[in-house]
Amino acid sequence: MGQVWTWITGAIAHLLGALKIAAAGIVGKVLGTFGLTMVTFEALLPNLQSFVMGYVSGMPADGLNMLGALGIGKAMSMILSAITVRILWKVFIVPTSVANAIAGGA
């Protein structure tokens, strides 16, 4: 009897996982239809930068000056931009023609 319950719980887990994936795809397509991809990108990056700067601002002034001289701000901006784009590529489906245009035709 215990083995039957194991199969049932496994089947329910697989069903819920499939429903979660299907719902995520549908929500992503609906949001993409309304053009919320750009709005999300423009709202997400400044929030990420302010989150990181909230932790960095507690450093001493000499440390902040050294990080500024090394260009850490630009590097962090590039890294956060890359992470944001990577997250958005997973969330929103983009047509191949648009993806090729963004990637410089590569």
What pTM does this model have? 0.39
The per-residue pLDDT for 97 is: 63
Residue 106 DSSP label: -
Task: Tell me which residues of the chain have a pLDDT lower than 50.
Answer: 39, 105-106
Listed by start position, the domains of the chain span 1-34, 35-95
The per-residue pLDDT for 58 is: 82
The per-residue pLDDT for 44 is: 64
CB 32 within 8 A of CB 93: yes
The per-residue pLDDT for 105 is: 45
